[in-house]
Structure 1
Amino acid sequence: MVWISLFSAAALEVVWALALKRSDGLSQLGPSLVFLVAAIGSVVLLSLALQRLPVGTAYAIWTGTGAVGTALLGMALLGEAATPSRLAAIALIAAGIVWLALTEA
């Protein structure tokens, strides 16, 4: 259950980051509300995961997974650059997340 909470928190981090981009500086009501709800949900789920996981592990996995997801969806949905070096860097972050998660399993 702790891992479900943590990865759900990371998924909501992706949602709030993309909503923040779409909010145009929090000037668009719909995306701004999505940002707010997703950000609160993400932090609440992270707090549940922190009850059982070390803070360094949980925080690194939360931010890393959110960063990977946001970068990939930024490329897929927003037309952001998908250069080989950028994809390689994202792959390294993802590998670090898996390695870290496996050390806590």
Structure 2
Amino acid sequence: MNWIALIIAGIFEIGWPLGLKMSQQAENSKVLWILVAIISMSVSGGLLWYSQKTIPIGTAYAVWTGLGAVGTLIVGIISFGDSASIYRLLSASLIVIGIIGLKMAQ
């Protein structure tokens, strides 16, 4: 259950940079997107806290930030036309490999 909570926390970790980005682009809904960012931060942090009951802090933090980083990179590529260069994708795949390695090492 704690690993599921950690994965969900990582997904919510994508929500706060997305909310901040959208608040910069939105004319009439800046406050709404800032609220999305704040709620995402809160849920993400709460689930990280919960998952650390049985998952070591270093593993939990690395997985949490890794999922958030790779997920945000993918959202940026798909939604905002960010570069999908081979170096960015290769680097992101190394993060994913690291996350898998941390899970397997436990």
TM above 0.5, one fold?
A: yes
Structure 1 alignment gaps of length 5 or more: none
Letter in 1 for 2:67: T
The 5 Å alignment of 1:60-79 reads 60-79=62-81
Sequence identity of aligned pairs in percent? 40
Q: Residues 47-104 of structure 1, C-alpha deviation per residue, up to 9 Å, x if partnerless?
A: 0001111100000000011101100111011110000111100111111111111112
Report the equivalent of 1:99.
Answer: 101
Take 2:3 and 2:20, find their aligned partners in 1: how far apart are those partners?
A: 25
- Report deviation, 1:15: 1.2
2:91 alignment partner AA:
A
SS in 2 for 1:30: helix
Count of matched residue positions in the alignment of Structure 1 and Structure 2? 103
What letter is aligned with 2:14?
A: V
Counterpart code for 1:10: G
1:10 aligns to 2:6 (yes or no): no
Residue 19 in 1 paired to residue 23 in 2? Answer: no
Distance 2:53 2:23 in 1: 32
**Aligned letter for 1:98?**
I
Match of 1:55 in 2: 57
Deviations 1:12-31 (A, max 9, x none): 00011111111129x81111
Structure 2: gaps of 5 or more residues: none
Q: Which residue of 1 aligns with 2:36?
A: 34
Using the size of structure 1 for normalisation, the TM-score is: 0.93
Normalising by structure 2, we get a TM-score of 0.92
The CA RMSD over aligned residues, in Å, is 1.4
